[in-house]
Amino acid sequence: MAVRTRGKIIYIDFYCFLPDGRKMRCVESTGLSDTQRNMKIAEDKNKAIQYELKHGHFDYLHFFPQGSKARFFKRPVRDVVFSAWWDQWISEKSLRLNTEKGMNSAYEKYIGPYFGHYPISKISEHELLVFRKLLQERHNLKASSINHKIMKPLCSALLKAHTRQLIDNYPCSGIKRLEEDLVDIDPFTPEELTHLLQVLKEKKRFDDYDLIYVWSRTGLRPGEIYALKWSHIDYYNKKLMVRETRLPNGSEGPPKTPHSVRDVDLRPPVIEVLRRQEARTGLVDRYVFMTHASKPFSDAFMRKRFRHILRLAGLKYRPPKQMRHTFATLHIAAKENISWVSRMLGHASVETTLKRYNRFVPNLTHDDGSLFEKLMDELGEKGNNQVTISGK
């Protein structure tokens, strides 16, 4: 048993027993080119194979699902119903709590009622397209919700079934994603935000004032500000630590993505507002912002409260999530470093930030050549002044 190279490709050479008891030599390609790093990967894989062979539970298809001897190990296709396969598939995945809840919610509401009773071998591309059209027309779901929350986990489950050779064909291979609408961004303008804060101050709604002020200066997602606790405020280092989020069902868990776990910079005015808020809720409970009944915010409560305070200020209604977009667009408008803005938002990359807020950037960067002309005019005036001075 050894790791070998043939034509610049790494192979693993070993002997194993076929299901009928015959001993056979296997020379299987790893698909890796002959580099030092890939050789280490192949050697580790070889050690895992040796371990399983030694202990009598070698699974050829696990290591080489498309290997040269796969036909000897192919298990009889069990035409399980999709509901049973979904339970098995979801139980094997290492998912974040919020992600697993979201997938199971999509299954219970949409996927299960349609495909749960289907044998997985009977789920075809045609059936998937009919199902997707039903989501659009009967349930009136957005393209982004269909793509990411329903079709993505459904197709992932079917892909794993195909990899396990429970189905011969992967039915999602020819299905393209639905074209998604632009991200719904309708932020407050600087004038609207200033007016809103002024009205809240005049009407002595100081708890709402502090909430809006902090939210507009930190760019948290709604669930993140609902779950914000005093233990997440670091006055000494001037940081707000995003470590939890609150879900619509009232439970709490880790933020949306690994990049969402972040430390948000706090400017002195924000710290001053937080200190004032601490005098209200610091001894009541662990949450920074709470209802008048001393309970943490829910999504439904905040929408109702947000609608009320916007009505007080005479502003058109926007959902609470627009506070996050307001932070992003106004800080970009103030010409803050885009990398810093992206980091504060918890985006995976600057490209994500630019893609999402691209339509707000041209107003800030003057992509019409005017800055160049302004620079040349300034240099021209400076040159004329220098000529005048030297002429004296």
Amino acid 285: pLDDT: 83
Handedness of CA 353, 356, 358, 359 (dihedral sign): negative
Which residues lie closer than 8 Å to 103 by C-beta, 6 or more apart?
A: 90, 95, 153
Counting as low any pLDDT under 50, the low residues of the chain are: 364-368, 370-371, 384-392
Handedness of CA 234, 306, 357, 198 (dihedral sign): negative
Q: Which residues on neighbouring strands pair with residue 265, listed in sequence order? A: 239
The alpha carbon of residue 193 and the mean position of all alpha carbons in its chain are separated, in whole angstroms, by 28
CA gap 44, 189 in Å, rounded: 57
- Collapsed DSSP state (helix, strand, coil) of residue 265: strand
Amino acid 112: pLDDT: 94
pLDDT digits (tens, 9 = 90+) for 139-173: 999 998 999 999 999 999 999 999 888 888 899 99
Q: Rounded to the nearest 5°, which phi and psi values hold at 315?
A: -105, 150
Structure tokens at 361: 């950037």
Q: What is the pTM of this model?
A: 0.62
Amino acid 378: pLDDT: 66
DSSP code per residue over 270-318: HHHHHHHHHHHHTTT-SBSSB-TTS-B--HHHHHHHHHHHHHHHT----
Amino acid 392: pLDDT: 39
CB atoms within 10 A of CB 49: 22
